[in-house]
Structure 1
């Protein structure tokens, strides 16, 4: 059975235009990557855990703030590695300068025996539809595209 993640596609309207909140993964592997490296706030669903509850928990861990609002199912998407990401859209405004992520530890540099702590998310940002399309991970692009298509149809 494929791993399952859950996340939030957080958006706001700025002067009538949609903007999307994306997070940049922390740690040395992502330090020099930008385009195609950003993500919606998301993470693994625990065994037996409600997926929306998991999405809200993960967003709070990665942003340092609880997200409240009218959560709408955005769909489930298979990632290139096989993981399934279930997403919900929610309109909310988050101060990206105040983002405070949880930490993870890993051996760094590799095979050094030295463990270092890194933030799970090293920064967050608001992006226009066009910018978000360039920044978001390829496997999550459909979440964004489908949401925009539904907004334009409604």
Structure 2
């Protein structure tokens, strides 16, 4: 779910920085649209709303949703995203967690947040921060906002 808000400076989008040790020291290309995979028989829209809440710790603060379509990611996964206009305090977000053996082959299982922080970005900042496969959604959002 790509949450956006309008400011005098332009449109801003809410992104989450991916959690875990691999992403800890990365910034460019380490941010993501809150999203999740859905399986056969699952409603992609319901999954998008659920994943937003799990990854940010709050329901989507919006009622109108605009489909931005599907994009195939580099690894072959398909990502379906909706946009919604809303606002929330990014500093107050709290993600669910996952377990990972860290350091590798150490036998130690550690818990990490899926999203370790969230922030609002202007569109050009978001282009640099987003994982490359998700950048097309910024253009799709702007196209939708420019339509009469």
Report the TM-score when normalising by structure 2: 0.95
Cα RMSD over matched residues?
1.1
CA distance in 1, matches of 2:144, 2:36: 24
Name which of 48, 52, 59 aligns with 1:55: 48
Within the candidate set 99, 112, 121, 1:127 is matched to 121
Give the count of matched residue pairs.
Answer: 147
- Give the match for residue 45 of structure 1: 38
Structure 2 partner of 1:4? none
- Residue from 66, 83, 92 that aligns with 1:89: 83
Matched, 1:102 2:102: no
Which runs of structure 1 show a deviation greater than 4 angstroms over 4 or more consecutive aligned residues?
A: none
CA drift at 1:153: 4.0
In the alignment, the residues of structure 2 paired with residue 38 and residue 103 of structure 1 have an alpha-carbon distance, to the nearest angstrom, of 17
CA–CA distance in 2 between the matches of 1:97 and 1:144?
Answer: 22
Question: What's the counterpart of residue 28 of structure 2?
Answer: 35
The equivalent position to 1:115 in structure 2, one of 81, 85, 109, is 109
TM-score (norm 1): 0.92
Deviation, 1:150, is: 2.7
SS in 2 for 1:11: strand
State whether structure 2 residue 12 is matched by structure 1 residue 19. yes
Q: Check whether the contact 1:46–1:54 (CA below 8 A) recurs between aligned residues.
A: no
State the 1:46 CA deviation.
Answer: 3.4
Q: Unaligned regions of 5+ residues in structure 1, if any? A: 1-7
SS of the residue aligned with 2:135? Answer: helix
Q: Which runs of 5+ in 2 are unaligned?
A: none
